Structure 1
Amino acid sequence: MIRSLLYVPGTSERFIAKAHERGADAIVVDLEDAVTPERKVEARDKLAETVAAVRRGGALVFVRINNDPELLLPDAQSACRAGADGLYVPKVGDPALLAHLAADLAPIEAALGRRPLAFVPLIEDPGAIFDARAIGRGPRVLALSAGAEDIATAMGAEPTPDVLRLPKLLIHMAAKAAGVLSFGLLRTVADYGDRAALAAAAREARQFGFDGASCIHPSVVPVLNEAFAPGEAELDFARRVVDAQADARRDGRGAFLVDGRFVDAPILARAKRLLALGATVSSKTGGRDA
C-alpha cells in the first residue's frame, strides 16, 4: 500500500535530510524537473547517498529519471546501483520505452543480485493518454500516474480541476484495466496551499479507487495518509459484512442485509479488500490510527 509519495529534489540537501521524518509511504528523488540542467549529473552522482538517506524511515524509494536520450539510461542505471526500489519514468508514450529500460537494467540487476526495479510511467501528453492501457501492461509497471501540468500545457489549457478531470480519469481507468496501481488526485498537486481543498480531493480520489497520490510539500503527506486509509466506521461495517456473510452461507443465502443495506458478492469483495487495507495501515503505524 502506497498512500503518499513525497517528491524531493535530488540536489536539495535540506529536503533530503528531513525526508525520512515526513511519514510518507514512498519518497521520489527527483532528477528531472526539480533539478536544473547544469546540476543533473551532480544529482545522479549523489544517488547512492541520497537513496540511503531518504530510506531511513522505512519508506520505499523511487527515482524520477530524465527522458532525455543522453540522461535516460545513465539515470536509470545509477538508481539501480544506488538501491532504489523503482523508477518514475516521465513522458512515456508507449511501452517500448519501458521494454528498452528493462532490457538495459536486467544484466546490472543480475550482477548486483537485486530485485528488478519497478516502473511508474508518467502519462504527460494527450496521445499517451489514449495509449495508457498498453503502457499499463508494459514490463515492470507498478502503477500509472498523470503529469498534470504537462498534460495541461500540451493541451494549451490551464491545469484547473475541470480541465484535468477527464484525462486523469482515463489514465486511472487504464491503470485499473491493466491491473496496476493508480496514483493521483483529480487536480494538480502544484497548488498545495489550500489544505481543505486537498483533503477533499484526496477523499474524492479514494472514492474513485485511486490508491494514493504524490505531493511536493511535506505538509500534504498526513493529508494523503489519512484520506487514503479506511476510517474506523468503514472498517466496522466491513467486519459486520464479513461476519454476516458467514451466517448467510450457513443458511444457503448468497445475498443478505447489514444495517438495512443489501449485500451481495461485489460488496462483500469490497469489504474484504477494505479490511486487508486496514490491516496494512495498522502494520505501518504500529496499531496507531493512520
Structure 2
Amino acid sequence: MIRSLLYVPGNMPRFLDKAGQRGADAVIVDLEDAVPEDHKTAARDALAQTVPQVAAHGSRVFVRVNMTDRLHDDAAAALRAGADALYLPKVSHADILHDLARHLAPLELGRAPIAFVPLIEDANGLFEARAIARAPRVLALSSGGEDLATAMGALPLPEVLRLPKLMIHYAAKAAGVLSFGMFRSTVDYTDADAIRMAASEARDFGFDGASCIHPSVVALLNEGFAPTSAQLDWARRVVAENARQAAAGRGAFTLEGRFVDAPIVTRAQRLLDQAGESR
C-alpha cells in the first residue's frame, strides 16, 4: 500500500533530515513549486545525498521534477540518486511520458526502470487521462487540486474538484494503476477532522492514498486509507466461509444475513491483501 505521500522541499535540509522518519509510505522530494528558481539547481544536485538519506528509514522516495527545460536533468539526477519514481507535474498528454522513458532508458543500466506518477493539472490533461494512464512506467495517477482549479478559473472547493478528480481516478483504475487523491486541496492541513473524513470518503471511492504537505497529516492518511480491524474481521469471515461453500459446490451464499457472491469475495480478499495477509 501507498497510503500517504509527504511532500518535502528539496532545498530544505532541516525538513529532509527527518522526512523518512515521519511514517509516510512515500516521501516526495520536491524540486518544483516548493523550491525558488534560484535554488532549483542546488536542490537537484543535492539529490545524491537526500534520496539515500530519506530511503534509509524505509520510505519509498519519489522526486517531483520541473516540467520545463530542467526536466531531463532533474529526472536523470533523481534516477542516479536511486529514487523509486518521478512525480511529473502538468502532464497534458502521453507523449511526454513516452519521450521521457526513451531518454532515461540508456541511463538505467544496472537498475530497474524508474516509475512515473503523472500529475494532471489542466483541462487538456483531464481529457487525455486515459492515454496518460496507459503510458510507459505509470505507477499511479494523481492531480494537483490547486493547479487544476486555477487552470479552470475556479476555486479548489471539494464540489469543484470532485468531477475532475473522479475522471482521473477512473482513468487510473481502467489502466490498472494506483490512484492518489482526495476531494479537497492539500493546502489546508490544519483541520484534522475534515482530513480524516476526506480520506475515508476517498477510500470508499477506491482511491489508494493521498499526498500531504505537513507531517501531521501522515498518520491521518495512513489510518484513513488502511482497512479497519472490523473490515478485516469481516473479510476473514467472508473468505473462510467462501472456501467452505466452494468445497460444497456453492458459489453464492448468505453470511450473517447478507448475500455474498464473487464480487464481494473479491472485495474481501483485496482487503486482506492490502493488510499483507496471504491467501
Please state which band the TM-score falls in when normalised by the shorter chain. Answer: over 0.9
CA distance in 2, matches of 1:250, 1:47: 55
1:262-281 aligned within 5 A: 262-279=259-276
Question: Which residue does 1:81 correspond to in 2?
Answer: 80
Is the partner of 1:29 in helix, strand or coil? Answer: strand
Offset at residue 162 of structure 1 (A): 0.7
Question: Which residue does 1:41 correspond to in 2?
Answer: 41
1:235-274 aligned within 5 A: 235-274=232-271
Where does structure 2 lack aligned partners over 5 or more consecutive residues?
A: none
Offset at residue 172 of structure 1 (A): 0.3
Where does structure 1 lack aligned partners over 5 or more consecutive residues?
A: 283-290
Question: Which residue does 2:195 correspond to in 1?
Answer: 198
CA distance in 2, matches of 1:48, 1:210: 32
CA distance in 2, matches of 1:94, 1:130: 9
Offset at residue 258 of structure 1 (A): 1.3
- Cα deviation, 1:32-61, whole Å, max 9, x if unaligned, reads 000000111010010111101111210000
Q: Percent identity?
A: 63
Offset at residue 13 of structure 1 (A): 0.9
1:152-191 aligned within 5 A: 152-191=149-188
Is the partner of 1:162 in helix, strand or coil? Answer: helix
Deviates more, 1:244-253 or 1:228-237: 244-253
Offset at residue 127 of structure 1 (A): 1.6
Contact 2:20–2:58 (CA<8 Å) still a contact in 1? yes
Aligned partner letter, 1:20: G
Aligned partner letter, 1:96: D
CA distance in 1, matches of 2:204, 2:194: 15
CA distance in 2, matches of 1:79, 1:100: 17
Q: CA RMSD in A?
A: 1.0
Question: Which residue does 1:64 correspond to in 2?
Answer: 64
1:102-117 aligned within 5 A: 102-110=101-109, 113-117=110-114
Task: Work out the number of aligned pairs and report it.
Answer: 278
Offset at residue 190 of structure 1 (A): 0.8
CA distance in 1, matches of 2:79, 2:26: 16
- Return structure 1 stretches of 4+ with deviation > 3 angstroms: none
Contact 2:130–2:171 (CA<8 Å) still a contact in 1? yes
CA distance in 2, matches of 1:88, 1:191: 21
Is the partner of 1:62 in helix, strand or coil? Answer: strand
Contact 2:93–2:124 (CA<8 Å) still a contact in 1? no
Question: Which residue does 1:133 correspond to in 2?
Answer: 130
